[in-house]
Amino acid sequence: NAGVTQTPKFQVLKTGQSMTLQCAQDMNHNSMYWYRQDPGMGLRLIYYSASEGTTDKGEVPNGYNVSRLNKREFSLRLESAAPSQTSVYFCASRVDRGNNEQFFGPGTRLTVL
């Protein structure tokens, strides 16, 4: 099992450009999540998807959109990147039976100039 994979690993954008961060998991998990990590702020939830076809806003959804393409894939889109979106983005997934932890991908380091 590869677990949770993310592409790309690094990206530099100019203000106003758009891009999509890709995430896939091969653990047959129902729930998937997107977080951003900023120094001194921990991880903050951007969006999550409890199941295929459903998405919900997290703590910091402004400026982002998501798509739960199928059970495996959950993408995060920045339509018009801003310097405030410079961050490290992590995708995670979780099985929903009972109480279980989230499994994290390797992250995407995004810089917006």
Partner 1 sequence: AQSVSQHNHHVILSEAASLELGCNYSYGGTVNLFWYVQYPGQHLQLLLKYFSGDPLVKGIKGFEAEFIKSKFSFNLRKPSVQWSDTAEYFCAVNMEYGNKLVFGAGTILRVKS
From first CA to last CA, the distance across the chain in angstroms is: 36
List the one residue from 17, 22, 45, 72 that touches partner 1 (CB under 8 A): 45
**Which alpha helices (DSSP H) does the chain contain, by range?**
none
Site for partner 1 contains 106 (CB under 8 A): yes
Q: Would you say 35 or 64 has its CB closer to partner 1?
A: 35
- The residue type found at 59 is E
Return the range that interacts with partner 1 (CB under 8 A); candidates 16-24, 42-50, 61-69, 75-83.
Answer: 42-50
Residue with tokens 């997107």: 34
Q: Any contact of residue 50 with partner 1 (CB under 8 A)?
A: yes
- C-alpha to C-alpha distances, 88 to 12, 35, 63, 71, 99, nearest whole angstrom: 12, 8, 15, 24, 27
Q: Which residue ranges make up the site for partner 1 (CB under 8 A)?
A: 31, 33, 35, 40-45, 48, 50, 58, 90, 94, 96, 98-99, 101-107
